[in-house]
Amino acid sequence: MRFVGRTTAAVVEFPDRRILLVKRLTIPFRSYWALPGGRVEAGETVEQTVVREVREETGLDVEIVRKIGEYSERGFKDGVEYDYSPACFLVKPVGGLMRRQESEVEEMKLVSLKEIPAELAFEHSRMIQDYAASVERK
């Protein structure tokens, strides 16, 4: 199986500095904790995608605070070849009710940076590290 293309990810930061992680039902993320986000659709900007994907997966309306970074991910893990370019954003919730998208999300949880689980999706650990470094500089 191959996973390719342009994607987004969101560090959804709550006022107490906890962030939201999701455990997806879909390959290649199954059984890993990850940041909400997804594939950029035709005619969408990465900014539009991250807002849409967070709303779809978590029920939350969010506002973009800033871009954390652009990443390039290539490799092979758990039978999945991946080659894609995620853009990661720091976002804050501004409305909606937190609820998981039952067709794609198995579980959601809020965690502090000290509570980040070991079963973190391979491509999201660097995004969270970059976010954590920016928090430490404040």
Per the annotation, the verdict on 41 as an active-site residue is no
Region 15-27 average pLDDT: 90
Give the number of residues written for the chain. 138
Per cent of the chain over pLDDT 70 is 92
Q: What is the pLDDT of residues 37-72, one digit of tens each?
A: 988 999 999 999 999 999 999 999 999 999 999 988
CA distance 127 to 73: 11
pLDDT of residue 14: 97
Q: What is the CATH number of domain 2-137?
A: 3.90.79.10
Contact 28, 55 (CB under 8 A): no
- Residue reference for tokens 């390039």: 72
Taking every pair of Cα atoms in the chain, the longest distance, rounded to a whole number of angstroms, is 41
Q: How confident is the model at residue 1 (pLDDT cuts 50, 70, 90)?
A: low
pLDDT of residue 31: 77
Alpha carbon distances (Å) from 134 to 27, 28, 130, 138: 30, 28, 6, 7
Which two structure tokens, joined as six digits, stand for 5?
A: 């293309």
CB neighbours of 5 closer than 8 A, spacing ≥ 6?
39, 40, 84, 85
Domain edges within the chain: 2-137
Catalytic residue among 63, 70, 81, 107: 107
pTM score, two decimals?
0.88
